[in-house]
Amino acid sequence: MTHEPLSSVGPWLAIVGIGEDGRAGLHPAARAALDRAEVVYGGTRHLDLAVPLAGEGRPWPRPITDAYPEILARRGRPTCLLATGDPFHYGIGAEIARLVAPSEIAAYPQPSAFSLACARLGWPLAECTCLTLHGRSLPRIVPALQPGARLLVLAWDGTTAASVAALLAERGFGDSPITVLEAMGGPRERIRTAPAARFAIADIDPLNTVAIAVVGSARAQVVTLSPGLDDAWFENDGQLTKSEIRAVTLSALRPAAGQVLWDVGAGAGSVAIEWCLRHPANHAFAVEARAERAARIRRNADRLGVPDIAIVAGSAPAALAGLPEPDAIFIGGGVSDPAILAACLKALRPGGRLVANAVTLEGEAALLAAFAQEGGSLRRLSVARADPVGGMHGWRSAMPVTQWAWTKR
């Protein structure tokens, strides 16, 4: 849905951030907006914190989106939405602002959980990585586990901190102090700290924020910031774009924030995974015909912290039907099939980038033909690694890779 054009309708929808101190902590303007509202939407906890209500209190339904048509139907009549802290920081505000014109909204934010946590810990908010695991998969935290980093994580419930601690200990970050900040800003506030490897904090309030000062051991599994992760990080059956070739391939694909990649013939999913690691807003569709490989891609994606990769089990080009328009396409398998290449060239959006790798003569011939017909750039990549030869070492060359890169005009 999109919001209606700006009109003479003034602010009728108040979005009020409320803390654990309830009405007492609200700015007078926020209290006035709350009291003017005929209907007040919010979680049960929010509505309890805001009593007494002048209007009708309506708890959010499940899913919360079921309330959106009701809210929009009230256009022009005083309505209030309650949220925790800052409604525009992982809150309802951002969702509603996609449906209602900004000129029709009066927002009254309070300090976010991130701001409150930094105030308690003395951490500069600008130097922290802010994440949410509320309704999201735990592996999303993995790319942020960088030595020396400070993470602030919104929890899904009282079990989140223990799950985070177990993940950190497993990946070599067991010395990292984990601080659990519960019910900040109210009478139930409590702050406790324990190292990840010996985390035993119990009876955690469901309303909590987890702060992590990341400390990595020598064996810590750090997802490095450059492309070309070690091949050993990917479970595979040999169908893997090797580290050096993968780094060059990612460079050729030229990922930008928020873009969509099709990884066709994904194998172990390494290119799709590294595409998503370049920016948290990136999306990838890993297309793989073999069921066992598709399952392996899922395991690799979870292990490396990009669980939102969409895995399309099926053979191209049929499996490509209905996928969102791609900004970039990588073909790692099937380049010798003219139907696959043709379908990818057609599907790519104008200005999009296609990169195809081939190691067989048949695949190379297909790329040479595509280069002759469409243009673009063509290069051959060769890597040699030192291997033992008796008691000494010598160079062992991998199969050369022919790479075609093309931008759609």
3-state secondary structure of 16: strand
**pLDDT tens digits for range 102-124:** 999 999 999 999 999 999 999 99
Percent of all residues in the chain with a pLDDT value above 70, rounded to a whole number: 98
Does 376 have pLDDT greater than 70?
yes
What mean pLDDT is predicted for residues 245-264? 98
Helix axes 291-303, 270-278, angle to 10 degrees: 30
Lowest mean pLDDT across 2-16, 159-173, 265-279? 2-16
**Contact of 99 with 15, CB cutoff 8 Å:** no
What mean pLDDT is predicted for residues 198-215? 97
Does 282 have pLDDT greater than 70?
yes
* Domains annotated on the chain, with CATH: 13-110 (3.40.1010.10), 114-213 (3.30.950.10), 231-407 (3.40.50.150)
Q: In angstroms, rounded to a whole number, what is the distance separating the alpha carbons of residues 196 and 183? A: 21
Look at strands 208-213 and 150-154 and give their pairing.
antiparallel
Token pair in block for residue 246:
């993968």
Banded pLDDT at 90 (limits 50, 70, 90) = confident
Does 4 have pLDDT greater than 90?
no
Instruction: Please report the pLDDT score of residue 127 as a whole number.
Output: 97
What mean pLDDT is predicted for residues 21-34? 95
Percent of all residues in the chain with a pLDDT value above 90, rounded to a whole number: 95
What mean pLDDT is predicted for residues 199-208? 97
273 phi and psi angles, rounded to 5 deg: -65, -45
Q: How far, rounded to the nearest angstrom, does the alpha carbon of residue 124 sit from its chain's CA centroid?
A: 23
Instruction: Please report the pLDDT score of residue 5 as a whole number.
Output: 40
Does 372 have pLDDT greater than 50?
yes
Banded pLDDT at 8 (limits 50, 70, 90) = low
Token pair in block for residue 20:
């654990």
The Cα angle at residue 150 between residues 144 and 152, in degrees rounded to 5: 80
Does 397 have pLDDT greater than 50?
yes
Look at strands 13-18 and 105-108 and give their pairing.
parallel
Instruction: Please report the pLDDT score of residue 117 as a whole number.
Output: 98
**pLDDT tens digits for range 339-362:** 999 999 999 999 999 999 999 999
Token pair in block for residue 121:
């810990």
Instruction: Please report the pLDDT score of residue 9 as a whole number.
Output: 65
Q: In angstroms, rounded to a whole number, what is the distance separating the alpha carbons of residues 214 and 150? A: 6
Instruction: Please report the pLDDT score of residue 3 as a whole number.
Output: 42
- Residue among 121, 93, 113, 82 at smallest CA distance from 185: 113
The DSSP output letter for 63 is S
Instruction: Please report the pLDDT score of residue 10 as a whole number.
Output: 84
Q: In angstroms, rounded to a whole number, what is the distance separating the alpha carbons of residues 152 and 133? A: 10
Does 32 have pLDDT greater than 50?
yes
Token pair in block for residue 322:
């209905």
The DSSP output letter for 27 is -
Q: In angstroms, rounded to a whole number, what is the distance separating the alpha carbons of residues 22 and 34? A: 12
